[in-house]
Every structure is written in structure tokens, then in C-alpha cells.
């Protein structure tokens, strides 16, 4: 169901922009963020406040989705999914030193 709904949104956006599917526009209402929020709540006890670096793309003909979630408690997680996977790979963001 998620996949079908998302494909309709992406394809509709691409054709509305006249791209003919050659370039993918970001979804107007990315339902995959809801899926990521639910997975973070279940697996990491994270109540998402907002998202950073939201990206949608294509890699070797497969749709990709990436975002960084900011939790209410201050933690941050990166989530990524490459279809046909149905769940996100989640990793906690740690302190980075340049």
C-alpha cells in the first residue's frame, strides 16, 4: 500500500512538471516520512520533532529515500531506504569532530 501510494505521488509530480519521469521531483506529501516516524518511535523511542536533509532519488533504477530526524529529546537519527526494502536502515548521529 505504501509503495503504491508513493509511486502515484512521485509519478504524478514528475508528469505535472513535464519531466516525463526523467527527473524526479520531491513529493508534495512524502508518506514515507510517516513510515520513518513510526519506525523510529517503535525501534528508538523517538518522537520526531522535525526532519532535516530530506532527499528522494533513484539509484540503479530503484527509488531511494533519506532523511535526518530530530527527536524531541535532542537525539538525531539518519534513516535511509532503497526499494525494494520495506523498512528503513536507521543509525544514530553522534558527535562529529572536524
pLDDT in tens, 31-74: 999 999 999 999 999 999 999 999 999 999 999 999 999 999 99
pLDDT in tens, 72-85: 999 999 999 999 99
Within a 10 A sphere around the Cβ of 37, how many other Cβ atoms?
17
> Which triple of cell numbers denotes residue 18?
513535464
> Which triple of cell numbers denotes residue 92?
544514530
Dist. CA 80–CA 59, nearest whole Å: 13
Q: What does the pLDDT read at residue 21? A: 39
pLDDT in tens, 4-35: 444 444 434 333 333 333 344 456 557 999 99
Q: What does the pLDDT read at residue 94? A: 81
Q: 33 with 51: CB under 8 angstroms?
A: yes
Q: 35 with 2: CB under 8 angstroms?
A: yes
Amino acid at each position: 500500500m505504501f509503495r503504491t501510494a508513493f509511486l502515484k505521488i512521485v509519478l504524478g509530480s514528475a508528469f505535472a512538471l513535464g519531466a516525463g519521469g526523467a527527473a524526479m521531483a520531491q513529493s508534495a506529501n512524502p508518506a514515507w516520512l510517516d513510515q520513518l516516524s513510526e519506525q523510529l518511535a517503535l525501534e528508538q523511542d523517538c518522537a520526531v520533532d522535525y526532519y532535516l536533509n530530506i532527499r528522494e532519488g533513484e539509484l540503479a533504477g530503484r527509488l531511494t529515500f533519506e532523511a535526518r530526524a530530530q527527536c524531541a529529546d535532542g537525539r538525531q537519527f539518519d534513516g535511509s531506504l532503497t526499494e525494494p526494502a520495506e523498512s528503513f536502515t536507521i543509525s544514530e548521529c553522534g558527535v562529529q569532530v572536524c
